[in-house]
Structure 1
Amino acid sequence: MTSAPPTTQSLVQFETRHIMPIPENERTGTVRSLFAIWVGINMLPLTVVTGAIATGAFGLSIGWSIVAILTGNLIGAFGAALHASQGPHLGVPQMLQARAQFGFYGGSLLAFVALLMFLGFFASILVVAKDSLLAVFPDLPPAAVIIVFAVVGIAIAVYGYDLLRKAMAFLSVIIAVVVVVAMVMLWFQPSVTQANPEAGFTISGFFGMLAIGVVWQLAYAPYVSDYSRYLPKDTGPKQAFWATYLGLVLSSVFVMILGVLLGAADPANPLGAMGALLGVFGTMGLLIFAFSAAMINAAELYSGVMCALTTVNSTFAKIIVTTRTRVITTLVCGAIATMGALAGESDFVTMFQNFVTILLYVLIPWSAINLADYFIVRKGDYAVAELFQRDGGRYGRWNAVGLSTYAVGILVQIPFMVTPMYTGPLAEPLGFVDIAWILGFIVSGAVYLLLTRMFPTAEPVGAREPVATAASAERR
């Protein structure tokens, strides 16, 4: 009698596809699982803390905070979901596809920028998850908590995509219940809804929170295709778009609104307010947030590793990217981000606000260039196999058009920037309303379209099936 394969093999698959394209016969993702990933990934205490900035740092009323959060997330998620729609068609990680706009080596620069972002978010989530647990058990050693949570996230990221998506699908349901119940309980407490009668509307505060909502969503843009690439090609871009868009908006807005309420009660310690105001349920919610954050955080590290492998593949010709390389890179990146969390956890709120602000400025030009190239210039017509050629194939080693446009996109934002570290000379005449990211997006997209017409490169690729060719290059 033939013995059945081990149950664990059928339940969760260890990932063997790193940055290589996912062949059609291995695309096990579904629209439902993609939606669950993006719902689950926002069910974090970091999302709560981000929402609390509206009523805390910006001093907005609860109503105006919700409007700013909703508007910013609706705008930012639209861009992120457009990037996600590329995954089923190309089958490659999001930042590897940047080689088509910036060249084989130029794309690695953008991948490295995204890597720093992912490591920053991994560290940030560790710090806030630690705060959630310490709000319940204040005598625990903070460093030990951070390290334990880091080990959990690293272990899941090592296992790969399949465990990630299944863990997030499970956790998203549990945390969604916690968030909804907590919001209802807080809404009927005068100590929350009437905590700051002087709060209201300010232009700088409203647009500042709106910008945070935008960047929160655009921060997902560099890795949305890391997950949508597992959808079968015939699933189509529309399904990938809507699964990503709805998942991101619904989860982000609801969890940030919880943060708005907690921030109104205690701007300095919104997570502590949850335990203080909601009693046993608040304590239970903090514990669920803490341990789920450690697991969901694996998604940040997983995509950071995809960026690291893209950079390594471009920079070191002798290093062959294999499953072993992915595992080692995961351990190294996880260790670096954990050390960052240990070093910066004492002044987290200030550091995080600076981080997300700078992140907005560096992501905007890349997003505009990628979307313009994919939907207008090439209309999704790429030679995927040539993205892996060391000479860049038709995309070249360095793409002057893409790189110069990116530089213009950064420079045009500088006079209008509003950050704690630097304020542009044109920000004050505008009442310190941050419009730099709007100009950065519009100018980057327009300049890229103009330059691609002035300096046309290769002819359209034409219909082909490049995935099998690229995928056969290596799988170990």
Structure 2
Amino acid sequence: MTVAEPTTEGTYRDRIVAVEPGGNEYIAEGDRHGKPSQLLWTWASPNLEFATIFLGVLAVSYFGMNFWQAAGGIVVGAGLGALAHFFLSARGPLLGVPQMVVGRLSFGYKGNAVPSTLMAITAGVGWFATNSISAAFALSTLFGIGPLLGLVLVVTVQTALAFFGHNLVQAFERLAFPVLAVIFAITSVLIMSEADLGAPALDGGVGGVGGFLLTVGTTFGYVAGWAPYAADFSRYLPRDVSAVRTGLFAAAGLFLACVVLAIVGAASVTIVSAAVTDNPTDAFTSSLPGWLAAATLLAIAIGAVAANAINVYSAGMAFVTTGVKLPAHIARALATVFFGLAGFLVAWWALADAATSYKSFLFLIAYWVGPWLGVVFADQFLRRGQPVDGLLYDKTYSNRPGLLSFLIGLVVSLVLFCNQELFVGYVVRALPDLGDIGFFVGFVIAAGSYLILCRSRIDAQKKAV
């Protein structure tokens, strides 16, 4: 059975200061607008922020990497994450629906509620809290106010942007991009010129292959963490735009911003500083001239808003996709307000130990995104050339092997390869130098399971069309 896809009404189009109507419907031709090139700043702006910088700080300070080892791990992890983003963004204009709606092909209408819920919590609470913390610290240092007041200010702004929806978020990313790019370019040049790139690895870190794989894992977790949002911001493009250009611009913005700032973060650790502070943004800017430190702190706050406007917007979209019943015309907007409040409360709680919370959170993302990507890409491979119209909103459509494959990949990767303080996987206990490769294992096992369990099922669907 297939059903007609609910669509937008064609009245929103490129209106900016207007609440985006509806929730996760198919975007009608009358509402399509824009060019693939706009995805460059859509995905660069939210990654020109302190959370990206801190990836490099983690690699050197916690994982025992020297600068060059950290840079290598960052490039590999970011490259893998950006590759996933390329393929998912490229399908947005053709399918015209949010990324988590596309996931119904892989998991079924009801089964898709599981990854959609994980996505909503990850984006709307986890990432929202993580980025809000860095913005709060930046505003605290810049204006001499308490971190809590800074948190209230930044949460208010980013929730308001997401409440209005897609077009206002896109407009903010476009306006923020040149400001962030110029400030961080100047900061990057100065930090790289002062850094000791040949400094040995710090004592006390993991080091070796394990430290390198941890660097790859955290970077992949960060970059691939955007994958469940990918089509959300390409679905409004006209249906006939180039899929390759769409994917390239989205992946390029994501990859370049993440690699450059994460490498700068790694270099910043090698600068000898007399500053002693529990504020990570203050520590990062302590070696900069006063005017540039102030500009960088402002850029950190703007970058966090750019990231969280997307996070809470897509969290609301995913929440609606779980099947929760809300009035259709305000469903997404109401969900963004809910996640803005929830993210604020978690950020308030995590202010006390931001570094540890961030490191653990990056791996939590990778653990579920790895097998999720495995299932989604395996499904995309099996369905190549198959029309999917009518399946995405069919409440009777089921694909239990998809959810089973996801859970198999998730459980096996956690039980055997998890490397966290609360639990160490059985393989890692025997091979402690392995680091944490759970995300790769989860991807491979989930994809392999799906190809085995679903090939005949999807072949039969193709013949029935």
How does the TM-score come out when normalised to structure 2? Answer: 0.89
Alpha carbons of structure 1 residues 338 and 107: separation in structure 2 relative to 1, 3 Å: same
Alpha carbons of structure 1 residues 271 and 187: separation in structure 2 relative to 1, 3 Å: same
Alignment of 1:25-36 (within 5 A): 25-36=30-41
Residue 236 (structure 1) shift: 3.0
| Residue identity opposite 1:357 in structure 2 | F
- The structure 2 residue matched to 1:321, chosen from 312, 328, 341, is 328
Task: Show the counterpart of 1:297.
Answer: 308
**Equivalent position SS for 1:363:** helix
Residue 455 (structure 1) shift: 4.3
| Alpha-carbon distance in structure 2 between the residues aligned to 1:71 and 1:452 | 31
1:263-299, Cα deviation, whole Å (9 max, x unpaired): 3347975522333211221222112221342244211
1:161-209, Cα deviation, whole Å (9 max, x unpaired): 111111111212211112221121122225x547666579621111100
| Alpha-carbon distance in structure 1 between the residues aligned to 2:455 and 2:210 | 38
Residue 320 (structure 1) shift: 4.0
| Alpha-carbon distance in structure 2 between the residues aligned to 1:165 and 1:38 | 10
Alpha carbons of structure 1 residues 126 and 198: separation in structure 2 relative to 1, 3 Å: closer
Residue 462 (structure 1) shift: 8.8
Task: Show the counterpart of 1:81.
Answer: 86
| Alpha-carbon distance in structure 1 between the residues aligned to 2:269 and 2:387 | 46
- The structure 2 residue matched to 1:331, chosen from 312, 337, 345, is 337
Does the 8 Å CA contact 2:368/2:439 hold for their aligned counterparts?
no
| Residue identity opposite 1:232 in structure 2 | P
Does the 8 Å CA contact 2:360/2:420 hold for their aligned counterparts?
yes
- The structure 1 residue matched to 2:285, chosen from 275, 291, 300, is 275
Residue 242 (structure 1) shift: 0.5
Does the 8 Å CA contact 1:132/1:271 hold for their aligned counterparts?
yes
Residue 13 (structure 1) shift: 4.8
| Alpha-carbon distance in structure 2 between the residues aligned to 1:144 and 1:205 | 37
Does residue 94 (structure 1) correspond to residue 99 (structure 2)? The answer is yes
Does the 8 Å CA contact 1:80/1:245 hold for their aligned counterparts?
yes
Task: Show the counterpart of 2:455.
Answer: 453
**Equivalent position SS for 1:74:** helix
Does the 8 Å CA contact 2:382/2:458 hold for their aligned counterparts?
no
Task: Show the counterpart of 2:5.
Answer: none
Does residue 65 (structure 1) correspond to residue 67 (structure 2)? The answer is no
Alignment of 1:204-215 (within 5 A): 204-215=210-221
Task: Show the counterpart of 2:10.
Answer: none
Alpha carbons of structure 1 residues 309 and 245: separation in structure 2 relative to 1, 3 Å: same
1:324-365, Cα deviation, whole Å (9 max, x unpaired): 222222111111111111122112211111111121111111
| Alpha-carbon distance in structure 2 between the residues aligned to 1:292 and 1:363 | 23
Task: Show the counterpart of 2:9.
Answer: none
**Equivalent position SS for 1:172:** helix
Does the 8 Å CA contact 2:85/2:227 hold for their aligned counterparts?
yes
Does the 8 Å CA contact 2:369/2:439 hold for their aligned counterparts?
no
Residue 415 (structure 1) shift: 0.8
Alpha carbons of structure 1 residues 365 and 212: separation in structure 2 relative to 1, 3 Å: same
Does residue 423 (structure 1) correspond to residue 424 (structure 2)? The answer is yes
How does the TM-score come out when normalised to structure 1? Answer: 0.87
Alpha carbons of structure 1 residues 462 and 28: separation in structure 2 relative to 1, 3 Å: farther
Aligned length: 442
Give unmatched runs, 5+ long, in structure 1. 1-8, 464-476
Alpha carbons of structure 1 residues 249 and 165: separation in structure 2 relative to 1, 3 Å: same
RMSD, matched Cα: 2.3
Task: Show the counterpart of 1:242.
Answer: 248
Give unmatched runs, 5+ long, in structure 2. 1-13
Task: Show the counterpart of 1:121.
Answer: 127
**Equivalent position SS for 1:426:** helix
| Alpha-carbon distance in structure 2 between the residues aligned to 1:381 and 1:150 | 43
Task: Show the counterpart of 1:160.
Answer: 165
